Amino acid sequence: MFCMSAALAAEGDSNSLLGGCDDSFAPADASYQFLLEEIPDTGSVDSGRIGEIHYTRLPIFNEAIAEENNAVFRWANRFHILTRQRTISQQVLFERGQEFETRLLEESARLLRSQGYFYDADIRPVRRCGEEVDVEVITKDNWSFTPSIAFDRSGGENTFSFGLRDSNILGLGKQLAIASEKDLDRRSKELIYQDNNVLGSRIRNRTSLIDSDDGSAELFDLRLPFFSLDTRRAWAVRLENEEREDEQFFRGDDVTEVVHHIEDYGVEYGFSSGLQDGVARRWTVGYRYRSDKFSLSDELPPPTDFPIDKELSYPYIGFESIEDNFDTAFNLDQIYRTEDLHLGHRWFSR
């Protein structure tokens, strides 16, 4: 089943769903259908201001229906920590007192749905009193904690892997993953941390550390992206170091080996005039440095053709144009999920 949001518009006067000054706020419940819900027509409230912002956080499972009211699902709801209101508010593009714009509500909902720890998200006006329009931000969490363990024995050799991953630590929207693995070639340990709102800002950080028998890798990425169509500034700093053993094989056996050292650094700055006439145009300037150096290994002889050290150092400039033309679909690639489709043009060159 595929359906655009326009096809889901309810018949009749949908403005009746928008409460007035004397109406009390009734939050969405766990059976809220997101894209299938009847949403008030916002055309008549574009001249108002954002009033109170209500945050409704729905659990993973709806215990009000028999299919999801069992011991396992109830335990999952209680074990899982719901995404905190502060974490959600850091994603939306509007605040109280700001001019009401339907576009900002729609784009904020897309930003929330792009976070892997949400099953779905919606933002709707719920009440108008004078010039103020109250808004409800509705999110439904995904299960975020994923343990993994595997063990195998073949040909007299044992292999195993063990890992823990949480994409929404304590409801803060941070991701942490740790893993340990042993296979026929190496034993390695890995640590990954990702934060899309460093200290409550729009700055994002990804840090990873890998330590194995035949090398190591470190990555640090800190950036302020073009997080919305109207974002005017962006920047990025990326630092990566890696040391590994590159091997050649013959009939399954290691025959030659070199130690490969990699340094990869980059900085970038972007600027834009924002969203103008329905199009966001962005310019990016940056610099990248990469060094690949090779040295002898202590364990195996080098190959006949020893690799040559390489060094790249260059500036670059990029341009991107994105048209503000989005729609939503349901049951397109994912079951019972709201999916965002970009129907406009996007040009990118570097």
Sort residue 60 into left (φ over 0), alpha (ψ -120 to 50) or beta: alpha
Supply the pLDDT for residue 79: 94
Tell whether 95 and 130 lie within a shared domain: yes
Supply the pLDDT for residue 214: 86
Tell whether 214 and 132 lie within a shared domain: no
CATH code of 43's domain: 3.10.20.310
- What DSSP character marks residue 115? S
What is the enclosing helix (H) or strand (E) of 112? helix 102-113
Tell whether 154 and 137 lie within a shared domain: no
Tell whether 226 and 307 lie within a shared domain: yes
E strands, 142-252, in order: 145-154, 157-166, 175-182, 187-195, 204-212, 215-224, 233-250
**How many independent structural domains does the chain possess?**
2
Tell whether 64 and 133 lie within a shared domain: yes
Which residues face 202 on adjacent strands?
none
Q: Give Cα 47 to chain centroid, integer Å.
A: 32
**Tens-digit pLDDT profile for the chain (350 aa)?**
444 444 434 333 434 467 788 788 889 888 888 876 666 655 556 678 999 999 999 999 999 999 999 999 999 999 999 999 999 999 999 999 999 999 999 999 999 999 989 999 999 999 998 889 999 999 999 999 999 999 888 777 888 899 999 999 999 999 999 999 988 778 999 999 999 999 999 999 999 999 998 899 999 999 999 999 999 999 999 999 999 988 888 887 888 999 999 999 999 999 999 999 999 999 999 999 999 999 998 888 989 899 999 999 999 999 999 999 999 888 788 777 888 999 999 999 99
Tell whether 122 and 180 lie within a shared domain: no
**Where a domain ends, among 141, 167, 201?**
141
Tell whether 326 and 205 lie within a shared domain: yes
Count of alpha carbons within 13 Å of 47, Cβ hemisphere only? 2
Range of the domain at 243: 145-349
pTM reported for the whole predicted model: 0.84
Tell whether 222 and 271 lie within a shared domain: yes
Tell whether 283 and 297 lie within a shared domain: yes
Tell whether 73 and 38 lie within a shared domain: yes
Tell whether 67 and 175 lie within a shared domain: no
Tell whether 169 and 277 lie within a shared domain: yes
The alpha carbon torsion through 181, 182, 186, 187 (nearest 10 deg) reads: 60
